[in-house]
Amino acid sequence: MAPFTHDFRKAQQRMPAIPVHIHHVNFTWQVTDDQDDYFYEFQTLRSFDKDIMDDPFVNVPLFGSVPHKTSVVQVGFPCRGEEDGVAAFEVTILVMDKGGNIVLRTPHNAIFFKTCQKALCLPRCLNGGLCMSSGACICPPGYFGVSCEKANCSTTCLNGGTCFHPGKCLCSTGFEGVRCEIRYRSGLSFLHRQTNPRLKSQTTSEKEAKEAADTIRPPESNYVV
């Protein structure tokens, strides 16, 4: 990687576009010194030709700590499959020490290229699915179906709600909440709760409140002002 970072303009001339059949690239990384902590941040994941390819994506959070055990970072290139062409894209990542000092970064203005072709999948793959040359969709984790249109939900949606994304419910009319467990009426949400008769019996009446106020009222003064 060092020759590319030192003279990226020349490196770009030697760097071919990522071929059609490659949909993602894996990078292996780890911190070799157990005493040190390093942090990373993906600052840019951007496609310059969104009619050909959507923004690149990664399989890790955009900000986090570099692991001390060997792990794989995957960068995906989601071709839209609507036309043939070459898409330019940018991926910028910083690696910092625990003091916030940058120890590694991708070069400024580092532009990469991905070759895409018109997809053969009908209907089009949804939810980030990739259309293979065989005409079948390869679905990302959490989705399945011919066009990746179904969410593999672990969340149980209540009161007629429908899971449309892993962990998310689309609630039917009259309900809301993470699992559609809250019923609302007249614009105000409320939960069904049983009235506690003991609390009701302890409620102070208006007469009792007036009598209590009279007992703590200070005596009238005999002084004339």
- Ordered by start, the domain boundaries in the chain are 3-116, 130-183
Tell me which residue has tokens 């009279």.
Answer: 214
The class of domain 3-116 in CATH terms is mainly beta
167-206 b/e (C-beta count within 10 Å ≥ 16 → b): eebebeeebbbebbbbbeeeeeeeeeeeeeeeeeeeeeee
The class of domain 130-183 in CATH terms is mainly beta
Which of 155, 157, 159, 156 shows the shortest CA–CA distance to 184? 159
**pLDDT over 90 (residue 160):** no
**pLDDT over 70 (residue 6):** no
The DSSP call for residue 53 is B
**Does the global pTM surpass 0.85?**
no
Tens of pLDDT, residue by residue over 198-216, are 434 444 455 554 554 454 4
Q: Which two structure tokens, joined as six digits, stand for 87?
A: 């898409």
Given a contact cutoff of 8 angstroms between Cβ atoms, the answer to whether 152 and 159 are in contact is no
Q: Do domains 3-116 and 130-183 have the same CATH topology?
A: no
Count of beta carbons in the 10 Å neighbourhood of residue 211:
10
* Residues 6+ positions from 208 with CB-CB distance below 8 Å: none
What average pLDDT does this structure show over 85-108? 90
Which of 114, 116, 142, 117 shows the shortest CA–CA distance to 127? 142
Given a contact cutoff of 8 angstroms between Cβ atoms, the answer to whether 40 and 95 are in contact is yes
Tell me which residue has tokens 């490659």.
Answer: 22
Q: If pLDDT is split at 50, 70 and 90, which confidence band does 128 have?
A: confident
Out of 65-74, 112-121, 128-137, give the one with best mean pLDDT. Answer: 65-74
